[in-house]
Amino acid sequence: MTGLLRRPEVGAFVAAFGIFLYFSISTSAFLTPAGVATWLYSSSLFGIMAVAVALLMIGGEFDLSAGAMTGTTGLIVGIATTQWGLNVWLALVLALAAALLVGAFNAWLVTSTGLPSFIVTLATFFILQGLNLAVTKLLTGTVAIQGLGAVTGFDQARVLFGSSFPLFGMDVKISIVWWILLTALATWVLLRTRFGNWVFAVGGQAASARQVGVPVRRVKFGLFLTTAGAAWLVGMLQLFDVSTVQATTGIGQEFVYIICAVVGGCLLTGGFGSAIGASLGALIYGMALQGIVFAQWDSNWLKAFLGGMLLLAVLVNLWVRRQAGERS
């Protein structure tokens, strides 16, 4: 029992089950094939980013630019294809390179200066937010990119990023498959590889990890690049699903990713957490997001729920760790 309590995702699993049960009973649409597909799709987009953010948090860092970066990557593909006539696959590579460049910049600044990643990535967030709005308006005259469906190669790329397939009567989005695969991969990396051990060591005590030969700088670079890559992926999944992108896409979502990770058992101090827990945190948010709509509540309750969920998760994680400590 003590070992179970020590698992970071236990609290998130209990909460996810409770929310699933509540909305299943209180609404008629929640368990319909269309309803399940809807909240799984929402959860998948939050989940992909939450897993990457969780890895970074376990490593002791934050990335507040992650939300804006999802919009930046979509805008790069949109502008490059509709305004410059670039091949869609080349535009995808260009957007990925830009995301990785931002991630590398964040990592370099954090590791070179010792500045808190919270401050560094907050600055990056505002830079990206401003560029997304200003550059998009400068080049297109609007704050949205449309007409991507007519771009050559769009339908081929959509198979990877915007397609869906039938399963048990549901129309399952490809993003759900990406979410499951990346959660499994992140879990394997954390629990079965040397790099995973390094991530926990760096987040738990970077100075001690460095003394025993852990390449702290390289680990942090890898984690920031992972977050940037995940932001690119989510940006593409959103772009190819709706064939349009707004300059404000992703703004404000960075805190949702962190909340999902914390609800999933990640500590704000680093060194502890779980990719599965972060995915469960995203599932909780996705179910609540759509469940509130299905229940016809005022949508403003979602923010109150989000804040309450974060506070409760922190308190539960604290209690569970204390209980596990007393029983060990």
Q: Give a three-class secondary structure readout of 236-266.
A: HHHHHHHCCEECCCCCCHHHHHHHHHHHCCC
Q: Which H or E run includes 134?
A: helix 117-140
Neighbours of 206 (CB within 10 A): 19
What is the C-alpha separation between 100 and 145, in angstroms, rounded? 22
What is the C-alpha separation between 171 and 110, in angstroms, rounded? 42
Digit-by-digit pLDDT tens for the chain (328 residues) are 555 556 777 778 888 888 899 999 999 999 999 999 999 999 999 999 999 999 999 999 999 999 999 999 999 999 999 999 899 999 999 999 999 999 999 999 999 999 999 999 999 999 999 999 999 999 888 888 888 888 888 999 999 999 999 998 899 999 999 999 999 999 999 999 999 999 999 998 888 999 989 999 999 999 999 999 999 999 999 999 988 899 999 998 998 999 999 988 888 888 888 999 999 999 999 998 899 889 888 877 877 877 887 787 777 767 766 665 544 4
Q: Residue count of the chain, please give it.
A: 328
pLDDT at site 327: 46
Domains of the chain: 2-323 (1.10.3470)
pLDDT at site 13: 86
Q: Which H or E run includes 322?
A: helix 301-327
